[in-house]
Chains A and B, each alone.
Chain A
Amino acid sequence: MRQSQFEQRYRPQWDRLETSLTALEARRRPKAAALTDFTADYQSLCHQLALARERGYSLALQEYLNDLMLRAHRQLYRYRTPLLPGLVAFFTGGFPRAVRHQWRWHLISTLCFVLSAGLVWAMILHDPELVHTVVGPQQVAELEEMYHPDLRDVAGRDRQDDVMMFGYYIYNNIGIAFRTFAGGLLLGVGALVAMLFNGSFFGAAAGHLTLAGAAQPFFTFVIAHGAPELTAIFLAGGAGLRMGWAVLAPGSWRRVDALRRAAAECLPVMYGVFALLVLAAFIEAFWSSRELAPQIKYGVGAACWALLALYLLFAGRQRQGQGGRHGSE
Protein backbone atom coordinates (compact mmCIF):
# COMPACT_ATOMS: atom_id res chain seq x y z
CA MET A 1 0.00 0.00 0.00
CA ARG A 2 1.30 3.43 -0.88
CA GLN A 3 1.74 5.97 1.86
CA SER A 4 -1.00 8.32 0.74
CA GLN A 5 -3.52 5.48 0.54
CA PHE A 6 -2.44 4.35 3.98
CA GLU A 7 -2.88 7.84 5.37
CA GLN A 8 -6.22 8.25 3.67
CA ARG A 9 -7.55 5.02 5.04
CA TYR A 10 -6.47 5.46 8.66
CA ARG A 11 -6.62 9.22 9.09
CA PRO A 12 -10.19 9.14 10.51
CA GLN A 13 -9.07 6.64 13.14
CA TRP A 14 -6.13 8.81 14.14
CA ASP A 15 -8.34 11.86 14.35
CA ARG A 16 -10.79 9.97 16.56
CA LEU A 17 -7.94 8.84 18.80
CA GLU A 18 -6.71 12.41 19.09
CA THR A 19 -10.18 13.50 20.16
CA SER A 20 -10.37 10.88 22.90
CA LEU A 21 -6.85 11.80 24.00
CA THR A 22 -7.73 15.45 24.32
CA ALA A 23 -10.69 14.41 26.47
CA LEU A 24 -8.53 12.14 28.61
CA GLU A 25 -5.84 14.75 29.12
CA ALA A 26 -8.35 17.33 30.31
CA ARG A 27 -8.65 17.87 34.03
CA ARG A 28 -12.15 16.47 34.27
CA ARG A 29 -12.62 12.80 33.67
CA PRO A 30 -14.55 12.13 30.46
CA LYS A 31 -17.60 9.93 30.28
CA ALA A 32 -16.89 6.28 29.62
CA ALA A 33 -19.18 6.25 26.61
CA ALA A 34 -16.92 8.74 24.84
CA LEU A 35 -13.99 6.36 25.11
CA THR A 36 -15.37 3.11 23.75
CA ASP A 37 -13.00 3.19 20.78
CA PHE A 38 -9.92 4.27 22.69
CA THR A 39 -8.25 0.93 23.37
CA ALA A 40 -9.11 -0.51 19.98
CA ASP A 41 -7.79 2.61 18.27
CA TYR A 42 -4.64 2.42 20.35
CA GLN A 43 -4.05 -1.19 19.43
CA SER A 44 -4.49 -0.60 15.75
CA LEU A 45 -2.24 2.44 16.04
CA CYS A 46 0.52 0.20 17.41
CA HIS A 47 0.05 -2.03 14.40
CA GLN A 48 0.04 0.88 11.97
CA LEU A 49 3.19 2.37 13.45
CA ALA A 50 4.99 -0.92 13.00
CA LEU A 51 3.73 -1.12 9.43
CA ALA A 52 4.79 2.44 8.66
CA ARG A 53 8.29 1.67 9.90
CA GLU A 54 8.51 -1.63 8.10
CA ARG A 55 7.29 -0.21 4.79
CA GLY A 56 9.54 2.82 5.06
CA TYR A 57 6.87 5.49 4.96
CA SER A 58 8.09 9.01 5.38
CA LEU A 59 9.80 10.00 8.62
CA ALA A 60 7.23 12.71 9.20
CA LEU A 61 4.45 10.14 9.23
CA GLN A 62 6.44 7.82 11.47
CA GLU A 63 7.09 10.63 13.88
CA TYR A 64 3.46 11.65 13.89
CA LEU A 65 2.34 8.11 14.67
CA ASN A 66 5.04 7.70 17.30
CA ASP A 67 4.03 10.91 19.08
CA LEU A 68 0.39 9.92 18.96
CA MET A 69 1.21 6.53 20.37
CA LEU A 70 3.31 8.05 23.13
CA ARG A 71 0.39 10.23 24.16
CA ALA A 72 -2.00 7.31 24.11
CA HIS A 73 0.43 5.09 25.99
CA ARG A 74 0.66 7.62 28.78
CA GLN A 75 -3.11 7.72 29.10
CA LEU A 76 -3.68 3.97 28.85
CA TYR A 77 -1.19 3.07 31.55
CA ARG A 78 -2.35 5.64 34.04
CA TYR A 79 -3.92 4.42 37.21
CA ARG A 80 -5.66 6.21 39.99
CA THR A 81 -6.06 4.34 43.21
CA PRO A 82 -8.82 5.52 45.54
CA LEU A 83 -7.25 7.77 48.15
CA LEU A 84 -9.16 7.10 51.35
CA PRO A 85 -8.83 3.29 51.68
CA GLY A 86 -5.15 3.64 50.86
CA LEU A 87 -4.65 6.19 53.63
CA VAL A 88 -6.48 4.04 56.18
CA ALA A 89 -4.42 0.97 55.28
CA PHE A 90 -1.27 3.05 55.44
CA PHE A 91 -1.81 4.38 58.94
CA THR A 92 -3.23 1.17 60.41
CA GLY A 93 -0.41 -1.01 59.17
CA GLY A 94 1.65 0.09 56.21
CA PHE A 95 3.66 2.78 57.97
CA PRO A 96 4.66 0.89 61.14
CA ARG A 97 5.42 -2.20 59.06
CA ALA A 98 7.66 -0.19 56.76
CA VAL A 99 9.46 1.22 59.80
CA ARG A 100 9.95 -2.20 61.40
CA HIS A 101 11.14 -3.64 58.12
CA GLN A 102 14.17 -1.35 58.29
CA TRP A 103 14.55 -1.29 62.05
CA ARG A 104 18.33 -1.60 61.95
CA TRP A 105 18.75 1.64 60.04
CA HIS A 106 16.39 3.49 62.32
CA LEU A 107 18.25 2.11 65.33
CA ILE A 108 21.57 3.32 63.94
CA SER A 109 20.22 6.77 63.21
CA THR A 110 18.60 6.98 66.67
CA LEU A 111 21.85 5.93 68.30
CA CYS A 112 23.79 8.56 66.35
CA PHE A 113 21.45 11.21 67.67
CA VAL A 114 21.16 9.95 71.25
CA LEU A 115 24.85 9.22 71.72
CA SER A 116 26.01 12.55 70.32
CA ALA A 117 23.38 14.34 72.39
CA GLY A 118 24.43 12.48 75.54
CA LEU A 119 28.10 13.09 74.91
CA VAL A 120 27.70 16.83 74.34
CA TRP A 121 25.33 17.10 77.30
CA ALA A 122 27.81 15.39 79.62
CA MET A 123 30.68 17.49 78.29
CA ILE A 124 28.78 20.70 78.93
CA LEU A 125 27.85 19.65 82.44
CA HIS A 126 31.55 19.04 82.97
CA ASP A 127 32.74 22.26 81.36
CA PRO A 128 29.95 24.82 80.72
CA GLU A 129 32.10 26.88 78.35
CA LEU A 130 32.02 24.08 75.80
CA VAL A 131 28.52 25.15 74.73
CA HIS A 132 30.12 27.86 72.63
CA THR A 133 31.93 25.30 70.51
CA VAL A 134 28.62 23.78 69.40
CA VAL A 135 26.16 26.69 69.45
CA GLY A 136 26.80 30.22 68.27
CA PRO A 137 26.50 33.12 70.74
CA GLN A 138 23.33 34.43 69.15
CA GLN A 139 21.63 31.05 69.39
CA VAL A 140 22.66 30.73 73.05
CA ALA A 141 20.99 34.07 73.72
CA GLU A 142 17.86 32.95 71.85
CA LEU A 143 17.68 29.71 73.79
CA GLU A 144 17.96 31.54 77.09
CA GLU A 145 15.35 34.02 76.05
CA MET A 146 12.95 31.24 75.10
CA TYR A 147 13.26 29.10 78.18
CA HIS A 148 14.84 31.00 81.05
CA PRO A 149 12.22 31.84 83.73
CA ASP A 150 13.62 35.35 84.27
CA LEU A 151 14.00 36.29 80.64
CA ARG A 152 11.07 34.89 78.74
CA ASP A 153 7.95 36.79 78.07
CA VAL A 154 5.06 34.43 78.84
CA ALA A 155 2.18 36.86 78.97
CA GLY A 156 3.03 38.38 75.60
CA ARG A 157 2.35 35.18 73.68
CA ASP A 158 -1.04 34.85 72.01
CA ARG A 159 -2.85 32.98 69.24
CA GLN A 160 -1.00 34.94 66.60
CA ASP A 161 2.30 33.64 67.89
CA ASP A 162 0.96 30.10 67.96
CA VAL A 163 0.06 30.29 64.27
CA MET A 164 3.38 31.88 63.41
CA MET A 165 5.32 29.20 65.26
CA PHE A 166 3.19 26.51 63.64
CA GLY A 167 4.20 27.81 60.23
CA TYR A 168 7.80 27.99 61.30
CA TYR A 169 7.81 24.40 62.58
CA ILE A 170 6.23 23.13 59.39
CA TYR A 171 8.69 24.97 57.18
CA ASN A 172 11.77 24.29 59.24
CA ASN A 173 11.30 20.81 60.68
CA ILE A 174 9.81 19.06 57.69
CA GLY A 175 12.45 20.69 55.51
CA ILE A 176 15.15 19.32 57.80
CA ALA A 177 13.65 15.83 57.73
CA PHE A 178 13.38 15.79 53.93
CA ARG A 179 16.91 17.10 53.53
CA THR A 180 18.24 14.53 55.97
CA PHE A 181 16.63 11.80 53.90
CA ALA A 182 17.99 13.16 50.62
CA GLY A 183 21.40 13.70 52.18
CA GLY A 184 21.51 9.98 52.87
CA LEU A 185 21.72 9.40 49.14
CA LEU A 186 25.21 10.90 49.16
CA LEU A 187 26.64 7.61 50.43
CA GLY A 188 24.85 8.06 53.75
CA VAL A 189 27.16 10.90 54.75
CA GLY A 190 24.50 13.61 54.63
CA ALA A 191 22.09 11.71 56.88
CA LEU A 192 24.85 10.77 59.29
CA VAL A 193 26.12 14.34 59.58
CA ALA A 194 22.58 15.64 60.05
CA MET A 195 21.88 13.17 62.85
CA LEU A 196 25.16 13.91 64.64
CA PHE A 197 24.73 17.64 64.27
CA ASN A 198 21.12 17.70 65.45
CA GLY A 199 21.99 15.40 68.34
CA SER A 200 24.86 17.63 69.43
CA PHE A 201 22.68 20.69 69.20
CA PHE A 202 19.97 19.10 71.31
CA GLY A 203 22.54 17.94 73.87
CA ALA A 204 24.09 21.39 74.00
CA ALA A 205 20.74 23.11 74.47
CA ALA A 206 19.68 20.65 77.19
CA GLY A 207 23.02 20.86 79.00
CA HIS A 208 23.26 24.60 78.84
CA LEU A 209 19.68 25.21 79.97
CA THR A 210 20.04 22.72 82.81
CA LEU A 211 23.03 24.65 84.07
CA ALA A 212 21.22 27.95 83.59
CA GLY A 213 18.38 26.76 85.81
CA ALA A 214 15.88 26.53 82.97
CA ALA A 215 15.58 22.76 82.89
CA GLN A 216 11.92 22.64 83.86
CA PRO A 217 10.59 25.14 81.27
CA PHE A 218 12.71 23.45 78.62
CA PHE A 219 11.67 19.88 79.31
CA THR A 220 8.01 20.63 79.93
CA PHE A 221 8.07 22.40 76.58
CA VAL A 222 9.76 19.73 74.50
CA ILE A 223 8.55 16.48 76.01
CA ALA A 224 5.15 16.17 74.31
CA HIS A 225 5.96 17.21 70.76
CA GLY A 226 9.41 15.67 71.08
CA ALA A 227 7.79 12.26 70.68
CA PRO A 228 6.58 12.69 67.09
CA GLU A 229 9.25 15.25 66.17
CA LEU A 230 12.38 13.44 67.31
CA THR A 231 10.98 10.10 66.15
CA ALA A 232 10.32 11.57 62.71
CA ILE A 233 13.87 12.91 62.50
CA PHE A 234 15.25 9.51 63.56
CA LEU A 235 13.15 7.81 60.90
CA ALA A 236 14.19 10.26 58.20
CA GLY A 237 17.82 9.69 59.13
CA GLY A 238 17.33 5.92 59.09
CA ALA A 239 15.66 6.03 55.68
CA GLY A 240 18.50 8.21 54.41
CA LEU A 241 21.09 5.74 55.67
CA ARG A 242 19.19 2.93 53.96
CA MET A 243 19.42 4.84 50.66
CA GLY A 244 23.12 5.48 51.12
CA TRP A 245 23.77 1.82 51.92
CA ALA A 246 21.93 0.76 48.76
CA VAL A 247 24.43 2.81 46.74
CA LEU A 248 27.46 1.73 48.78
CA ALA A 249 26.68 -1.99 49.02
CA PRO A 250 24.02 -3.01 46.50
CA GLY A 251 24.62 -6.72 47.09
CA SER A 252 23.58 -8.85 44.16
CA TRP A 253 21.60 -6.04 42.53
CA ARG A 254 22.76 -3.46 40.08
CA ARG A 255 23.34 -0.17 41.92
CA VAL A 256 20.47 1.50 40.14
CA ASP A 257 18.09 -1.35 40.97
CA ALA A 258 19.22 -1.45 44.59
CA LEU A 259 18.59 2.30 44.78
CA ARG A 260 15.10 1.88 43.33
CA ARG A 261 14.22 -0.85 45.78
CA ALA A 262 15.50 1.22 48.67
CA ALA A 263 13.48 4.21 47.49
CA ALA A 264 10.33 2.09 47.28
CA GLU A 265 10.93 0.82 50.81
CA CYS A 266 11.68 4.26 52.20
CA LEU A 267 8.75 6.02 50.60
CA PRO A 268 6.11 4.86 53.14
CA VAL A 269 8.48 5.82 55.94
CA MET A 270 8.78 9.32 54.50
CA TYR A 271 5.00 9.68 54.20
CA GLY A 272 4.86 8.74 57.87
CA VAL A 273 7.62 11.20 58.73
CA PHE A 274 5.62 13.93 57.07
CA ALA A 275 2.47 13.03 59.02
CA LEU A 276 4.37 12.82 62.31
CA LEU A 277 5.96 16.22 61.78
CA VAL A 278 2.64 17.88 60.97
CA LEU A 279 1.30 16.36 64.18
CA ALA A 280 4.37 17.56 66.07
CA ALA A 281 3.93 21.08 64.72
CA PHE A 282 0.35 21.11 65.99
CA ILE A 283 1.35 19.89 69.43
CA GLU A 284 4.34 22.20 69.60
CA ALA A 285 2.47 25.32 68.57
CA PHE A 286 -0.82 24.79 70.39
CA TRP A 287 -0.09 22.51 73.36
CA SER A 288 3.57 22.77 74.32
CA SER A 289 3.32 26.54 74.62
CA ARG A 290 0.47 26.35 77.19
CA GLU A 291 1.46 27.17 80.73
CA LEU A 292 0.28 24.23 82.82
CA ALA A 293 1.47 22.39 85.89
CA PRO A 294 4.65 20.43 85.12
CA GLN A 295 3.02 17.17 86.26
CA ILE A 296 0.34 17.48 83.58
CA LYS A 297 2.87 18.28 80.88
CA TYR A 298 5.18 15.44 81.85
CA GLY A 299 2.18 13.09 82.04
CA VAL A 300 0.93 14.02 78.58
CA GLY A 301 4.45 13.89 77.20
CA ALA A 302 5.04 10.42 78.58
CA ALA A 303 1.72 9.29 77.13
CA CYS A 304 2.75 10.62 73.71
CA TRP A 305 6.03 8.70 73.79
CA ALA A 306 4.34 5.51 74.97
CA LEU A 307 1.55 5.66 72.41
CA LEU A 308 3.96 6.32 69.57
CA ALA A 309 6.26 3.50 70.65
CA LEU A 310 3.34 1.07 70.94
CA TYR A 311 2.06 2.17 67.55
CA LEU A 312 5.37 1.75 65.75
CA LEU A 313 6.17 -1.55 67.45
CA PHE A 314 2.86 -3.33 67.29
CA ALA A 315 0.41 -1.76 64.84
CA GLY A 316 -0.27 -3.77 61.71
CA ARG A 317 1.42 -6.98 62.85
CA GLN A 318 0.12 -10.04 61.09
CA ARG A 319 -0.91 -13.11 63.01
CA GLN A 320 1.81 -15.64 63.69
CA GLY A 321 3.12 -17.50 60.71
CA GLN A 322 1.96 -14.90 58.20
CA GLY A 323 4.36 -12.03 58.59
CA GLY A 324 7.43 -11.61 60.66
CA ARG A 325 10.55 -9.64 60.43
CA HIS A 326 11.59 -10.84 57.06
CA GLY A 327 8.17 -10.60 55.50
CA SER A 328 8.61 -8.57 52.38
CA GLU A 329 6.03 -6.05 51.37
Chain B
Amino acid sequence: MRIDDQLHIDTPEGARLTLSLAGPLPRALAYGTDLAIRGLLLAVVAIPLMLFGRGGMGLYMVLLFLMEWFYPVLFEALWQGRTPGKRMMGLAVVHGNGAPLGFNGSLVRNLLRTADLFPMFYLTGFLVMLVTRRAQRLGDLAADTLVIHTPPARPARPHQDGDSEAPDWPLSREDQLVLLAFTDRGARLSTERQQELAALAYPELSPAAAREKLQRVARHVLGGA
Protein backbone atom coordinates (compact mmCIF):
# COMPACT_ATOMS: atom_id res chain seq x y z
CA MET B 1 0.00 0.00 0.00
CA ARG B 2 1.26 3.43 -0.80
CA ILE B 3 1.12 6.30 1.60
CA ASP B 4 -0.74 8.36 -0.97
CA ASP B 5 -4.19 6.86 -1.24
CA GLN B 6 -5.29 8.87 -4.24
CA LEU B 7 -6.17 7.04 -7.41
CA HIS B 8 -6.27 8.84 -10.73
CA ILE B 9 -8.55 7.62 -13.47
CA ASP B 10 -8.76 8.97 -17.00
CA THR B 11 -12.37 8.98 -18.07
CA PRO B 12 -13.53 8.56 -21.68
CA GLU B 13 -14.20 12.29 -21.76
CA GLY B 14 -10.49 12.85 -21.38
CA ALA B 15 -10.80 14.28 -17.90
CA ARG B 16 -8.84 12.99 -14.97
CA LEU B 17 -10.84 11.84 -12.00
CA THR B 18 -9.29 11.56 -8.56
CA LEU B 19 -10.65 8.97 -6.14
CA SER B 20 -9.50 8.62 -2.57
CA LEU B 21 -9.32 5.00 -1.51
CA ALA B 22 -10.66 3.84 1.81
CA GLY B 23 -8.29 1.91 4.04
CA PRO B 24 -8.98 -0.99 6.38
CA LEU B 25 -10.08 1.05 9.39
CA PRO B 26 -13.04 3.00 7.97
CA ARG B 27 -14.13 -0.15 6.15
CA ALA B 28 -13.98 -2.18 9.33
CA LEU B 29 -16.02 0.48 11.13
CA ALA B 30 -18.61 0.45 8.35
CA TYR B 31 -18.74 -3.33 8.53
CA GLY B 32 -19.21 -3.21 12.28
CA THR B 33 -22.05 -0.72 11.91
CA ASP B 34 -23.72 -2.97 9.34
CA LEU B 35 -23.27 -5.95 11.60
CA ALA B 36 -24.98 -4.11 14.45
CA ILE B 37 -27.84 -3.01 12.18
CA ARG B 38 -28.35 -6.56 10.95
CA GLY B 39 -28.27 -7.99 14.46
CA LEU B 40 -30.77 -5.41 15.64
CA LEU B 41 -33.14 -6.04 12.72
CA LEU B 42 -32.98 -9.79 13.27
CA ALA B 43 -33.65 -9.40 16.97
CA VAL B 44 -36.63 -7.13 16.32
CA VAL B 45 -38.10 -9.52 13.76
CA ALA B 46 -37.43 -12.59 15.89
CA ILE B 47 -39.82 -11.52 18.63
CA PRO B 48 -43.09 -11.57 16.60
CA LEU B 49 -41.89 -14.63 14.65
CA MET B 50 -41.51 -16.56 17.88
CA LEU B 51 -45.29 -16.45 18.24
CA PHE B 52 -45.62 -18.58 15.11
CA GLY B 53 -43.76 -21.52 16.56
CA ARG B 54 -41.69 -23.72 14.31
CA GLY B 55 -43.10 -22.14 11.13
CA GLY B 56 -41.89 -18.77 12.38
CA MET B 57 -38.51 -20.36 13.08
CA GLY B 58 -38.33 -21.39 9.42
CA LEU B 59 -39.10 -17.86 8.25
CA TYR B 60 -36.51 -16.56 10.68
CA MET B 61 -33.86 -18.78 9.12
CA VAL B 62 -34.76 -17.62 5.62
CA LEU B 63 -34.36 -14.09 6.91
CA LEU B 64 -31.06 -14.97 8.56
CA PHE B 65 -29.85 -16.28 5.22
CA LEU B 66 -30.93 -13.14 3.37
CA MET B 67 -29.31 -10.91 5.97
CA GLU B 68 -26.06 -12.80 5.87
CA TRP B 69 -25.65 -12.98 2.10
CA PHE B 70 -27.91 -10.44 0.43
CA TYR B 71 -27.98 -7.48 2.79
CA PRO B 72 -24.74 -6.02 1.36
CA VAL B 73 -25.55 -7.10 -2.20
CA LEU B 74 -28.96 -5.46 -2.34
CA PHE B 75 -27.87 -2.27 -0.65
CA GLU B 76 -24.76 -1.87 -2.78
CA ALA B 77 -26.58 -2.66 -6.01
CA LEU B 78 -29.62 -0.48 -5.39
CA TRP B 79 -28.26 2.33 -3.22
CA GLN B 80 -25.30 3.85 -5.07
CA GLY B 81 -22.85 1.23 -3.84
CA ARG B 82 -23.48 1.94 -0.19
CA THR B 83 -24.73 -0.11 2.72
CA PRO B 84 -26.07 1.88 5.67
CA GLY B 85 -22.75 1.41 7.45
CA LYS B 86 -20.77 2.62 4.46
CA ARG B 87 -23.07 5.60 4.10
CA MET B 88 -22.50 6.48 7.72
CA MET B 89 -18.73 6.33 7.21
CA GLY B 90 -18.94 8.23 3.89
CA LEU B 91 -17.78 5.24 1.82
CA ALA B 92 -19.06 3.80 -1.44
CA VAL B 93 -18.15 0.89 -3.67
CA VAL B 94 -17.42 1.62 -7.32
CA HIS B 95 -15.86 -0.34 -10.15
CA GLY B 96 -12.17 0.00 -10.85
CA ASN B 97 -12.80 2.52 -13.63
CA GLY B 98 -14.99 4.69 -11.41
CA ALA B 99 -18.19 3.32 -12.92
CA PRO B 100 -21.06 2.57 -10.55
CA LEU B 101 -21.51 -0.88 -9.08
CA GLY B 102 -24.15 -3.19 -10.54
CA PHE B 103 -25.76 -6.30 -9.13
CA ASN B 104 -23.22 -8.70 -10.63
CA GLY B 105 -20.19 -6.88 -9.31
CA SER B 106 -21.69 -6.60 -5.88
CA LEU B 107 -22.61 -10.29 -5.83
CA VAL B 108 -19.08 -11.37 -6.73
CA ARG B 109 -17.42 -9.27 -4.08
CA ASN B 110 -19.85 -10.35 -1.40
CA LEU B 111 -19.92 -14.06 -2.29
CA LEU B 112 -16.15 -14.16 -1.97
CA ARG B 113 -16.29 -12.54 1.47
CA THR B 114 -15.81 -15.98 3.03
CA ALA B 115 -12.36 -16.22 1.49
CA ASP B 116 -11.44 -12.83 2.96
CA LEU B 117 -12.77 -13.89 6.35
CA PHE B 118 -10.40 -16.85 6.46
CA PRO B 119 -9.20 -17.90 9.00
CA MET B 120 -10.83 -15.31 11.25
CA PHE B 121 -11.50 -11.58 11.59
CA TYR B 122 -10.86 -10.88 7.89
CA LEU B 123 -7.18 -11.67 8.28
CA THR B 124 -6.77 -12.75 4.65
CA GLY B 125 -8.70 -9.75 3.37
CA PHE B 126 -6.65 -7.42 5.56
CA LEU B 127 -3.31 -8.80 4.38
CA VAL B 128 -4.41 -8.70 0.75
CA MET B 129 -5.53 -5.09 1.21
CA LEU B 130 -2.11 -4.16 2.54
CA VAL B 131 -0.22 -5.60 -0.41
CA THR B 132 -2.51 -4.59 -3.28
CA ARG B 133 -1.97 -1.26 -4.90
CA ARG B 134 -5.54 -0.07 -4.53
CA ALA B 135 -6.45 -1.42 -1.07
CA GLN B 136 -8.61 -4.23 -2.39
CA ARG B 137 -9.55 -7.44 -0.63
CA LEU B 138 -9.85 -10.70 -2.58
CA GLY B 139 -13.51 -10.12 -3.38
CA ASP B 140 -12.69 -6.66 -4.69
CA LEU B 141 -9.93 -8.05 -6.88
CA ALA B 142 -12.24 -10.63 -8.46
CA ALA B 143 -15.07 -8.15 -8.98
CA ASP B 144 -12.74 -5.27 -9.95
CA THR B 145 -14.22 -2.97 -7.34
CA LEU B 146 -12.84 -0.27 -5.06
CA VAL B 147 -14.09 1.22 -1.84
CA ILE B 148 -13.70 4.98 -1.94
CA HIS B 149 -14.44 7.93 0.27
CA THR B 150 -17.38 9.97 -0.92
CA PRO B 151 -16.73 13.39 0.52
CA PRO B 152 -19.66 15.40 1.84
CA ALA B 153 -20.74 18.34 -0.27
CA ARG B 154 -18.44 21.22 0.51
CA PRO B 155 -19.95 24.63 1.05
CA ALA B 156 -18.77 27.29 -1.33
CA ARG B 157 -15.76 29.16 0.00
CA PRO B 158 -16.69 32.54 1.39
CA HIS B 159 -15.14 35.39 -0.52
CA GLN B 160 -12.82 37.59 1.41
CA ASP B 161 -13.23 41.16 0.45
CA GLY B 162 -10.47 43.64 0.72
CA ASP B 163 -7.98 45.50 -1.40
CA SER B 164 -5.55 43.54 -3.51
CA GLU B 165 -2.03 44.04 -4.69
CA ALA B 166 -0.12 42.53 -7.59
CA PRO B 167 2.75 40.23 -6.61
CA ASP B 168 6.16 41.87 -6.98
CA TRP B 169 7.72 38.74 -8.45
CA PRO B 170 6.94 36.65 -11.55
CA LEU B 171 4.33 34.24 -10.32
CA SER B 172 4.83 30.58 -11.25
CA ARG B 173 1.99 28.06 -11.20
CA GLU B 174 3.43 26.41 -8.08
CA ASP B 175 3.59 29.78 -6.33
CA GLN B 176 0.00 30.37 -7.27
CA LEU B 177 -1.12 27.04 -5.81
CA VAL B 178 0.79 27.72 -2.61
CA LEU B 179 -0.82 31.14 -2.30
CA LEU B 180 -4.30 29.74 -2.86
CA ALA B 181 -3.70 26.96 -0.40
CA PHE B 182 -2.64 29.63 2.07
CA THR B 183 -5.97 31.43 1.72
CA ASP B 184 -7.98 28.20 1.76
CA ARG B 185 -6.41 26.87 4.89
CA GLY B 186 -5.72 30.19 6.56
CA ALA B 187 -9.01 30.11 8.42
CA ARG B 188 -7.94 26.94 10.19
CA LEU B 189 -4.60 28.36 11.34
CA SER B 190 -3.94 30.66 14.22
CA THR B 191 -2.98 34.22 13.39
CA GLU B 192 0.52 33.64 14.74
CA ARG B 193 1.03 30.66 12.48
CA GLN B 194 -0.25 32.65 9.50
CA GLN B 195 2.22 35.41 10.33
CA GLU B 196 5.01 32.91 10.65
CA LEU B 197 4.22 31.49 7.22
CA ALA B 198 3.86 34.92 5.65
CA ALA B 199 7.23 35.93 7.07
CA LEU B 200 8.77 33.25 4.86
CA ALA B 201 7.54 35.19 1.83
CA TYR B 202 8.47 38.63 3.17
CA PRO B 203 11.32 38.19 5.65
CA GLU B 204 12.04 41.93 5.46
CA LEU B 205 8.62 42.93 6.86
CA SER B 206 7.27 42.51 10.34
CA PRO B 207 5.18 39.32 10.68
CA ALA B 208 1.89 41.22 10.94
CA ALA B 209 2.64 43.34 7.89
CA ALA B 210 3.83 40.31 5.98
CA ARG B 211 0.53 38.55 6.65
CA GLU B 212 -1.47 41.55 5.46
CA LYS B 213 0.60 41.86 2.32
CA LEU B 214 0.41 38.16 1.50
CA GLN B 215 -3.36 38.20 1.90
CA ARG B 216 -3.62 41.14 -0.46
CA VAL B 217 -1.48 39.34 -3.04
CA ALA B 218 -3.57 36.21 -2.69
CA ARG B 219 -6.73 38.22 -3.28
CA HIS B 220 -5.18 39.62 -6.41
CA VAL B 221 -4.40 36.13 -7.68
CA LEU B 222 -7.94 35.02 -6.94
CA GLY B 223 -9.18 37.94 -8.92
CA GLY B 224 -11.13 39.56 -6.13
CA ALA B 225 -11.94 43.28 -5.91
On A, residues with C-beta under 8 Å from B are 1-5, 11, 18, 25, 42-43, 46-47, 49-50, 53, 56-61, 63-64, 66-67, 69-71, 73-75, 77-79, 159-168, 170-171, 174-175, 178-179, 181-183, 185-186, 190, 243, 256, 259-260, 262-263, 267, 270
Contacts and interface: CB of A to CB of B under 8 A. Distances in A.
Contacts of A18: 153
Given A4-B224, A56-B173, A160-B54, A66 B11 contact: no
A59 B99 CA distance: 24
Contacts of B13: 42-43, 46
B177 A182 contact: no
A3 B223 contact: yes
Contacts of A77: 98-100
A174 B223 contact: no
A242 to B, nearest CB: 11
A83 to B, nearest CB: 9
Contacts, number: 168
Nearest to B183: A58
29 contacts: A2-B221, A18-B153, A50-B14, A53-B16, A58-B183, A59-B180, A59-B184, A70-B98, A74-B80, A78-B99, A78-B102, A159-B55, A163-B59, A164-B55, A166-B58, A168-B61, A171-B61, A174-B65, A175-B68, A181-B111, A182-B111, A183-B115, A259-B142, A260-B143, A263-B143, A267-B104, A267-B108, A270-B107, A270-B111
Contact of A46 (B15, B57, B68): B15
Contacts of A171: 61-62, 64-65
Nearest to A236: B111
Contacts of B58: 162-168
A162 B58 CA distance: 8
B68 A74 contact: no
Interface string B97-113: 01110101001100111
Contacts of A163: 54-55, 58-59
A197 to B, nearest CB: 15
A179 B154 CA distance: 42
Contacts of B142: 185, 243, 259-260, 262-263
Nearest to A81: B102
Interface string B137-169: 010011110000011011011010000000000
Contacts of A71: 150
A5 B223 CA distance: 7
B53 interface: yes
Contact of A57 (B64, B159, B180): B180
A170 B154 CA distance: 46
A183 B111 CA distance: 10
B54 A178 contact: no
A168 B224 CA distance: 69
Given A4-B159, A175-B65, A67 B154 contact: yes
Contact of B14 (A46, A64, A175, A186): A46
A69 B14 CA distance: 12
A101 to B, nearest CB: 17
Given A160-B54, A167-B61, A183-B114, A58 B181 contact: yes
Contact of A164 (B14, B54, B69, B98): B54
B191 interface: no
B108 A263 contact: yes
Nearest to B218: A58
B65 A185 contact: no
A70 B114 CA distance: 31
Nearest to A48: B15
A178 B114 contact: yes
Given A4-B159, A263-B108, A166 B184 contact: no
A79 B184 contact: no
Nearest to B94: A74
Tell me which of A43, A61, A69, A171 has the highest count of chain B C-beta atoms within 10 A of its own C-beta.
Answer: A171
